[in-house]
Amino acid sequence: MAPKKRPAAAKASSAKKGKYVEEDPETHFAVSAATTGPMADLPASLPKPVTLPVKSTALICIDFQKDFMSEGGFGHALGNDVTKLSEECLPGAQVLLAAARAKKMLVIHTKEAHRDDLKDCCDMKRIGPRCPPEGKRIGEVLQEGMGRLLIDGSPGNEIVDVVKPLEGEVVLCKPGKGAFFLTGLNQLLRDRGISHLIFCGVTTEVCVQVTMREANDRGYECVLVEDATASYIPKFKAAVVEMVRSQGGIVGYTIEHAEDVATALKSAA
């Protein structure tokens, strides 16, 4: 079948002429960092030490869902061994959550979650040639008790108990890998005066990395906490950690231990 033609209107005429498409790019950028209030120094971060202004720093917990961490979920449907993720990253994530909550910082939890009518799930993601076979696709049930794969409201789509959101914390459903796509996250962060983001979650090279890169383009300073993130494929996690902090920290900072972040937040003055 011949590929469908894109409607002519989809081509931005200004882009065709090589002009800037966005009139006010700065309306998308992170707000300036807080210059007052407690400051948390992370001497162990790479490629260099970073200071987190606590008032304008948020913790973002990416997709700690049964769909990625438990058997019978979407990660399992994709053919991954899901049994090792939890022990690798949940203890670190718990440490970060406790420290952020103690400092009354903004905590954001994301869930990769589609509407039950699947209107926010494109065909490419659900039934395209690289998708799992029938019975293992988004919206289908792989295992009793988990409900429909990657659908908001299904038991398997919930965040795992040990890092579950507290009342009042932001829980953001995202239909994409990046948390900025179709979610309003950028506006939320701007409204809440956030300039710095501490990252934990799964999987390192997919939703965590994509979201960090989206945040970096928007001007947020990002810190990835190594023992609070995990991948099904260890060499991919190692590569992301290297990539993030390479070239002078092209995507942001990394730090090995959640405990070091917690200590810095606790002693921030």
Of 3-11, 92-100, 187-195, 202-210, which segment contacts ligand C5J by CB under 6 A? 202-210
180 scored as a contact of ligand C5J (CB under 6 A)? no
Residue 206 contacts ligand C5J per CB under 6 A = yes
155: Cβ contacts below 8 Å, ≥ 6 apart: 66, 145, 146, 147
48, exposed or middle or buried, with CB in 10 Å at 0-12, 13-18, 19+? exposed
Contact flags string 11-40 toward ligand C5J, x per CB under 6 A: ------------------------------
Residue 144 CB, nearest distance to ligand C5J (Å)?
A: 23
User: What gap in Å lies between CA 64 and CA 93, rounded to an integer?
Assistant: 9
Identity of the residue, 195 or 211, whose beta carbon is nearer to ligand C5J in the bound complex: 211
Which residues from 49-68 bind ligand C5J, rule CB under 6 A? Answer: 63, 68
Report the catalytic residues: 63, 174, 207
Closest C-alpha to 66, from 90, 42, 43, 49: 90
Closer CB to ligand C5J, 105 or 207, in the complex: 207
Helix (H) or strand (E) holding 62: strand 57-62
Q: What is the CA radius of gyration of the chain?
A: 19
Binding positions for ligand C5J, 106-125, rule CB under 6 A: 112
Q: Which is nearer to ligand C5J, 112 or 221 (CB)?
A: 112
Picking from 223, 220, 225, the residue whose alpha carbon sits closest to that of residue 193 is 220
Q: Count residues near ligand C5J (CB under 6 A).
A: 8
CB 104 within 8 A of CB 145: no
Question: Which residue among 61, 207, 223, 264 contacts ligand C5J (CB under 6 A)?
Answer: 207
Q: Which amino acid appears at position 201 of this protein?
A: G
202 is an interface residue for ligand C5J by CB under 6 A: yes
